[in-house]
């Protein structure tokens, strides 16, 4: 099977690096020493462990808690190779987001369950469409913070679907997750 490259985009602090770090940890793509190093950094800063640190290799990124540049990681799962590209969410780094997305076959667009669709969420969706990425999963992240509310999930999906017809995306799926807890199946959320 050919390698699948996908980019992870979305508004700042909606959980992109946490999701990617969790994905890499759960698929065994991160060497054990790296997990311990991230745990040690968190302890030194008197913060709880963050999966985002598994991806944010730059000390500056770890100190600021902000993804500045795109980061790529490779992993293998179920006999397929993947390239995941973690793109920054800050408006100031949109050029870096475009650079990462230009190399992707598909995308995960994260939307924080509490904050909902933001300006940068929409901007990233438009840029993905402009770059020709037709397969997108809108990942409603941090569902644990809204007690896995099906109502909230549907509301966010409707917010996003308002501008979806203006985009050239053929395959858009909506997925509720809690990357922090490594959970995507806590509640059966149905599609209308």
Please check whether residue 87 lies inside any domain of the structure: yes
Angle, vertex CA 54, rays to CA 112 and CA 173, nearest 5 = 35
Please check whether residue 188 lies inside any domain of the structure: no
Q: Which domain holds residue 95?
A: 4-29+68-176
68 CB burial (10 A radius; 0-12, 13-18, 19+): middle
Please check whether residue 126 lies inside any domain of the structure: yes
| Sign of the CA dihedral with 159 first, then 164, 169, and 171 last | positive
Joined tokens for residue 158:
């409707």
Please check whether residue 182 lies inside any domain of the structure: no
Please check whether residue 53 lies inside any domain of the structure: no
Q: Are 6 and 83 in contact (CB under 8 A)?
A: yes
Residue 127 is part of a domain; what is its CATH number? 3.40.50.300
Please check whether residue 191 lies inside any domain of the structure: no
pLDDT mean by block of 10 residues, the chain; 192 residues: 81 82 83 81 81 58 47 77 72 58 83 91 86 90 93 93 82 90 60 42
pLDDT value of residue 1: 64
49 CB burial (10 A radius; 0-12, 13-18, 19+): middle
Beta bridge partners of 50: none
Please check whether residue 51 lies inside any domain of the structure: no
Question: b/e string for 29-46 if b means 16 or more Cβ within 10 A?
Answer: bbeeebbeebeebeeeee
Which of 174, 170, 179, 178 is CA-nearest to residue 191? Answer: 174
- When divided into structural domains, the chain yields a total of 1
Please check whether residue 38 lies inside any domain of the structure: no
């Amino acid at each position: 099977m050919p390698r699948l490259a996908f980019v992870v985009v979305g508004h700042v602090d909606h959980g992109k690096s946490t999701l990617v770090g969790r994905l890499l940890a759960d698929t065994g793509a991160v060497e054990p020493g790296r997990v311990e190093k991230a745990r040690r950094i968190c302890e030194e800063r008197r913060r709880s462990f963050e999966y985002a640190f598994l991806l944010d290799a730059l000390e500056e990124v770890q100190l600021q808690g902000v993804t500045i540049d795109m980061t790529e990681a490779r992993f293998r799962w179920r006999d397929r190779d993947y390239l995941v590209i973690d793109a920054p969410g800050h408006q100031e780094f949109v050029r870096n987001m475009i650079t990462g997305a230009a190399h992707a076959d598909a995308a995960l667009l994260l939307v924080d369950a509490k904050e909902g669709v933001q300006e940068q969420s929409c901007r990233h969706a438009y840029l993905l469409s402009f770059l020709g990425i037709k397969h997108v999963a809108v990942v409603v992240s941090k569902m644990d913070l809204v007690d896995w509310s099906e109502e909230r999930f549907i509301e966010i999906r409707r917010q996003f679907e308002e501008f979806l017809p203006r985009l050239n995306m053929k395959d858009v799926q909506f997925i509720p997750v809690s990357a922090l807890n490594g959970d995507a199946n806590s509640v059966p959320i149905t599609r209308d």
